[in-house]
Amino acid sequence: MKVTLISIPVRDQEKALKFYTEKLGFLKKKDVPLEGGNRWLTLVSPEWQDGPELLLEPAPNHFEPCKVFQDALMEAGFPYTQFDVDNVDADYDRLIKLGVEFSVKPTKMGTVKFAVFNDTCGNNIQIVETL
């Protein structure tokens, strides 16, 4: 078995696609039309295009418990998932300029530095630099 996919619940796939590609810099890899306007939509890191894919999943719109869970995480400030970066401060500066809202500014914690931002699609996302 291989780990190849990370799923993120989003309220609006098109909006998520724009945010994750235009602001965060991911690349679209697969876009398969499904029923009811839903899509199998995956992204990859530009520097690791054969790495794991990020699935932007419209689950909160179709499965109430997913929405409840997502809302609870957002409310408590918990990141839904996290991405590795080389330099948290640099990405923080870059994203702030693009209008991204952070709930946690770059913060050191032991052997990592991290920050948390709002992906505008229902999730807090954490970026982490290992020191």
Q: Which residues bind another protein (CB under 8 A)?
A: 76-79, 103-104, 107, 109-111, 116, 124, 130-131
22 vs 89, beta carbon nearer another protein: 89
35 vs 47, beta carbon nearer another protein: 47
DSSP 61: G
Which of these, 126, 130, 123, lies nearest to 59 by C-alpha position? 123
Q: Least separation, in Å, of the C-beta of 63 and another protein?
A: 24
95 vs 116, beta carbon nearer another protein: 116
Kindly list the distances between the CA atom of residue 110 and the CA atoms of 107, 113, 114, 130, in Å, as whole numbers in the listed order: 10, 8, 10, 9
How far apart (Å, rounded) are the C-alpha atoms in residues 66 and 34? 20
Q: Least separation, in Å, of the C-beta of 73 and another protein?
A: 9
Which of these, 82, 55, 58, 53, lies nearest to 70 by C-alpha position? 58
Q: Least separation, in Å, of the C-beta of 101 and another protein?
A: 13
Which of these, 43, 46, 127, lies nearest to 93 by C-alpha position? 127
32 vs 76, beta carbon nearer another protein: 76
Q: Least separation, in Å, of the C-beta of 103 and another protein?
A: 7
Q: Six-digit token pair at 52? A: 């794991």
